[in-house]
Amino acid sequence: FSQLNGVIQGPLMMKQAGFPPFVSYLSWVGMPDGVITATRPDNGRWARRVRESNGDGWLRIGDATYTMRATEIVDDEQRLAMMELWAAKAGRTLDEPLYEGSEPLRDWKVFFWTPRS
């Protein structure tokens, strides 16, 4: 997925398995073995749905759709390392908020998506 960085601009589309079939637009960073996404630590809808299910879903990046499984990264060292990559793609540092009123990026939650077999 790292080969998609810089080639595909803008957010990806994420659809969780289950009902109702919500689609969310997410900022992302491709890694060799998966995709990093992040969200505010406010227990928002899409993050809550990932936590309540087995993480199965689909990511649409450009014209391609991938069958994926999300895993929340809870180890702080690993989460912050992934968040640094996400922040850099967003043109921010970990100490900056993404927008006025949001938390610093170091507090955000990270989900890593890997292909389902």
- To the nearest whole percent, how much of the chain has pLDDT over 90? 64
Cα separation, 86 vs 5, whole angstroms: 11
pLDDT tens digits along 1-56: 988 987 888 899 999 887 777 889 999 999 999 999 999 999 888 898 888 888 99
Q: What pLDDT is attached to residue 114?
A: 97
Predicted structure pTM score: 0.91
User: In the prediction, which pLDDT does 62 show?
Assistant: 93
